[in-house]
Structure 1
Amino acid sequence: MTLPSTADRVREVLLGLDDIMLAATTLCLAVHADPELSGEEEHTASRLAAWLTADGFRVTPGVGGHGVVGVLRNGEGPRVLVRAELDALPVEERTGLPYASTVRAPGPGGRDVPVMHACGHDLHLAAAAGAARLLARAAHLWRGTLVVVGQPAEETLQGARAMLEDGLYDRFGRPDAVLAQHTAPFPAGMVAHGTGALMAGSLSFDVVVHGRGGHAATPHLTVNPVATAAAAVGALHGLVATQTDPADRAVLTVCRLHAGDSSNVVPDRATLGLTVRAHAQTALDSLAEAVRRTVHAECAASGRVDPPEITLVSRSAPNVPDPSATAAVREAHQALFGAQRVASWPPSMATEDFPLFGDAGREIHGFAGIPTVYWMLGSVGPRQWRAAPGRTPADKLAALPPNHSPEFAPDVRSALPTGVAAMVAAALDRLGSR
């Protein structure tokens, strides 16, 4: 007997795509209109849990916070984990969409902030849910175990670690492959794969610079932390050029500086927030040490005895998908979409905690040799593409609203079916054949 090829199985599963698109689209729009910040994803998690339960998955909520795990066992075979994110961002939506978010929620410091799915997590979630439903209905075409994970707190780089520390792999099994996709502003209907480090690793620091407050009229009697912090910012922004190999891709950006509440009072302290990103772990380690050394030096130069407080807030490893598994999934995508709809993706300085599900998280979950596959999903519809200024594709790509923009608006009608189909093809490539 000749077993059907992966391409044949994918095509047969996708015969049911039209039947599930209304429900998947409704889920996507509902999640978009009702976004929740990192760590607060209760309603989003409940929506995913209800969806997976209806499809026969054994669902466990509350993993690592509001994480959801759905398991569908279908005989002996590989265990494949599909991951999607639950959380949104503190961004005020300006898309003009009829389902645009008007949600405000308590943010840092207890003040209300606007909330928006400005990074496509709503679409990732709906695509994973749609793929799960199609695969559940076509269980006669594959064997193994499908695990669907709704991960909280990706935007704060805390959710993957929390789920793994809560025993994700011990409780639900070590996966033989972990799959994820992410929207990006290029034409919908396309996917893109990269080689090597697809995304950077990152380190985020909070810094407190101490001074001695007083009157603005007598600066000689104070130690002004504003001046110290400003000097530190200037020195920090020069570290990439002096502390890393020119061949390494790395950035260091100070994104927050706050001190004082009055123009005639020297404050006692100033706070900084900064991020370091690089594609090589060695560059990250070098810059982290340079950050600590530089801040301490500037504070010492100010004459203040109290040392600065430097706190590592979050970290992520470089996102390096497994070359062999990626090549196989790319071939599956080319067989499904055609080579012209499968592009190459250049390395990015964006970051994500997805690598922890693979070998980058070995210190947490204790397993080695877990291949990850991660690809980009086009989100720009034909109307958006035509309206974007510029004559060339490069001009249009540069002009389109990027992820995290208040105007980021994936075209659900064209991007979601592609996302469902791409995940089905990837999962079937990794699962066993009956």
Structure 2
Amino acid sequence: MPSVTDIVNKYRPELGSYEELYKWFHAHPELSYQEQKTAEAIVKHLEKFNSYEIHSSIGGHGVAAVLKNGPGKTLLLRADIDALPVDERSNLPYASQARMKDVDGVEKPVMHACGHDMHITTLLGAAETLVKAKDEWSGTLVLCFQPAEERASGAQDMIDDGLYDKVPEPDFAVGAHLMPERAGVIGTKRGLIASSADSFQIKIEGRQTHASTPHRGIDPIVQAASTIMRLQTVVAREVDPLDFAVVTVSAIHAGDRENIIPEEAELKINIRTALPETRERVLNSVKKIIAAEAEASSNPKQPTLKETTRFPFLFNDASVTSALEKTFSEHFEVGKHGYTDDIARLQGSEDFGILATAIGKPSCFFLYGGIDPQVYDKAVKEGRLREDVPGNHSPYFAPVIQPTLTVGMDGYVVAALTFLGKGT
């Protein structure tokens, strides 16, 4: 019986065309809820194989494809497809120059600054590999190209729009994400793999007045500044140093003229935690501080909090992860430059898990690196990882195409063979 590696190497398609496809996706990013051309390109590519039952426009611009290949389990493989309002500064010949209006109606530069272009390409490559390798596996394969991950709504939107009325419910779900790790690295981790994330828009209403008569008004900028500084103490003084939490005020908008104390200030805040009890405690502390700073500012109007996004905790199921540990360690070189079963947890957040938890099924999310090995190794040697290796959402985030593409594609294929392979 051929090994997983034998199958992957035999049926892996020629990758030059996928490298060009990746460049196209990178150069043509689209924001959440607006991924129309991206979805059309995905459908067009899947149609080439004449094997998949394709469903488009699910939950917006989501795409699902089904390949029924005899009796067996059903596996869902997922890739997210949306981009970010980021102005690319990579200087790559295929760098994005796209601009789109965001949900706020303001035109912004757009970039695949989180690797979703690589996610799309690797899953399409895996789709072709698994068509060619049909004799080596049995069961049902569901491919899910999910929109609006960056807005924490795409997975739920697809489910609410009848995803599992259109495609078979999977027995397992597997997703993946590109990380600012050394290219060639791929890993799994049991248990928590991505933190929760709660985002809010805070509106502080003051009382407008002339800058020369501050006593006649209530200054929302000073109140906002005090609130921002006090919020920094939540993690520093209320969270166990052995635990994990982040409270970030990522935007502040207030005022227009230098001689007017404005009527209001608006903040945007992002809160991440790793434990449900920590999440509850941090959220309560944040709300208390916001209210207390209003009172300290003699402001009779309490700030209003509007939740904008809410990412759940993402946990890797032990049994699913254990199965992947076995096949990944057989296919990939094990070690610091290859596969690890204890990869660093994703510090960001994900809605992928909803595709499984919504139907009570287990899932696993694996991670892989995309930084040029020479760049990464040099940064490690010089102690400049933070300075020289751009992370997700950076305008400089640009993975080296190889070996990143091969590793990500193989990860999906190996995952499929783990649960659908005839020898399993």
TM-score by shorter chain over 0.5: yes
Higher alpha-carbon deviation: 179-188 or 213-222: 179-188
Aligned counterpart for 2:154 among listed residues 159, 166, 179: 159
Which residue type is aligned with residue 296 of structure 1? A
Shift of 1:147: 0.6
Q: Does 1:120 align with 2:120?
A: no
Aligned counterpart for 2:18 among listed residues 6, 20, 24: 24
Query: 2:213 & 2:376 partners in 1: Cα distance?
Result: 58
Query: 2:302 & 2:334 partners in 1: Cα distance?
Result: 57
Shift of 1:20: 3.5
2:246, 2:271 within 8 Å by CA — same for their partners in 1? yes
1:205, 1:274 within 8 Å by CA — same for their partners in 2? yes
Distance 1:410 1:230, change over 3 A: same
Report the counterpart of residue 349 of structure 1 in structure 2: 347
Query: 2:166 & 2:185 partners in 1: Cα distance?
Result: 35
Aligned length: 419
Q: Does 1:391 align with 2:385?
A: no
Shift of 1:398: 6.2
Alignment partner of 2:175: what SS? strand
* Aligned alpha-carbon RMSD (Å): 1.9
Report the counterpart of residue 378 of structure 1 in structure 2: 369
Q: How is 1:356-371 mapped onto 2 (pairs within 5 angstroms)? A: 356-359=354-357, 365=358, 367-368=359-360, 370-371=361-362
Query: 2:229 & 2:16 partners in 1: Cα distance?
Result: 52
For 1:203-234, what per-residue CA distance to the aligned partner results, in whole angstroms no more than 9, with x for missing partners? 00110001110111111110111111111112
* TM-score in terms of structure 1 length: 0.91
Q: Does 1:410 align with 2:399?
A: yes
Q: Does 1:431 align with 2:417?
A: no
Shift of 1:318: 1.9
Q: Structure 2 stretches of 5 or more lacking a match?
A: none
Q: How is 1:9-158 mapped onto 2 (pairs within 5 angstroms)? A: 9-17=4-12, 19-55=13-49, 56-158=51-153
Higher alpha-carbon deviation: 88-97 or 188-197: 188-197
Query: 2:101 & 2:20 partners in 1: Cα distance?
Result: 26
Higher alpha-carbon deviation: 150-159 or 281-290: 281-290
Alignment partner of 1:345: what SS? coil
For 1:150-190, what per-residue CA distance to the aligned partner results, in whole angstroms no more than 9, with x for missing partners? 11111121211211222223432321111111111222222
Alignment partner of 1:421: what SS? helix
Higher alpha-carbon deviation: 302-311 or 85-94: 302-311
For 1:61-108, what per-residue CA distance to the aligned partner results, in whole angstroms no more than 9, with x for missing partners? 111111111111112211111100111111111212111111111235
Q: Which runs of 4+ in 1 moved over 6 A?
A: none
* TM-score in terms of structure 2 length: 0.94
Report the counterpart of residue 217 of structure 2 in structure 1: 222
Q: Does 1:263 align with 2:258?
A: yes
Shift of 1:293: 2.2
Shift of 1:198: 1.7
Report the counterpart of residue 362 of structure 1 in structure 2: none
Query: 1:103 & 1:374 partners in 2: Cα distance?
Result: 30
Q: Does 1:291 align with 2:286?
A: yes
Shift of 1:44: 0.6
Query: 1:41 & 1:208 partners in 2: Cα distance?
Result: 30
Same amino acid, percent of matched pairs: 34
